[in-house]
Amino acid sequence: MQASQSTVDTGEVAKFEAMAAEWWDPNGKFKPLHMLNPCRLDYITNQIAGEFGRDLTAPAPFEGLRILDIGCGGGLLSEPMARLGATVVGADAAAGNIPVAQVHARQSGLDIDYRHTTAEALAEAGEQFDVVLNMEVVEHVASPISYLTACQRLLKSGGLHICSTLNRNPKSYVVAIIGAEHVMRWLPKGTHEWSKFITPDELFALLEEAGLEPVDRKGFVFNPVTWTWRLSARDLSVNYVTASLKR
């Protein structure tokens, strides 16, 4: 399912494909995502539970829901969704990520449908999902509006779209580029392009243009003392996440 016309930026894909083998190394190049993952999952699971009336304390609370993890990488979000009972499709434009994700899912005893494909190809094929997880991807595509429109087409009526990205301001340049890539060396230099970062207001406008209704946004805030992340209703200055619906 390869799309001849897509929003894939081949240069961005190559960056992540080069790091594919390190997806499940908590101290490797994806250490920032491993650190952020509990906070991301807290937001995601609560949004899904709230929208679909699910009890997170029940066994397999997401059973019956079909979830797409677009830009799934090695499966850091796909696997928790599968453990919660959802039917999960993990899609990534970087071919090298898929075998890594497949092997880890098998080792974990999880049945996840991983595919080397794009949002546009899935939409053209008529795929439909209750939830689309679009985490830390939109700042890496060639055309955010085309990409978000494809994500909207992938949602069933009443579906939930969760999208996280990086704000664009002087603070995010210092923290995400200088701090994460040059000082802490959490990520290889050049992983992010500050000019591609998107402000929350810009993202809300793009989501609305794509046919989605934004209903929530929160910041992911890092505490350098405790080395933990938390959700914030006010501080969206660097990392942030949004929820929107397809009415």
Known binding residues are: 40, 71, 92, 135
Q: What is the C-alpha separation between 50 and 238, in angstroms, rounded?
A: 26
Q: What is the C-alpha separation between 194 and 139, in angstroms, rounded?
A: 9
Find tokens 């092997």 and name the residue.
103
The answer to whether 198 touches 10, Cβ cutoff 8 Å, is no
The annotation places the binding site for S-adenosyl-L-methionine at 40, 71, 92, 135
Q: Crossing angle, helix 144-153 and helix 200-209, to 10 degrees?
A: 50
Q: Helix (H, G, I), strand (E, B), or coil: what is residue 83?
A: helix
CB atoms within 10 A of CB 21: 15
Q: What is the C-alpha separation between 242 and 173, in angstroms, rounded?
A: 21
The answer to whether 162 touches 152, Cβ cutoff 8 Å, is no
- The b/e string for 57-77 (b: 16+ C-beta within 10 A; e otherwise) is eeeebbeebbbbbbbbbbbbb
For the chain, state the CA radius of gyration.
Answer: 17
CB atoms within 10 A of CB 122: 24
Q: Helix (H, G, I), strand (E, B), or coil: what is residue 63?
A: coil
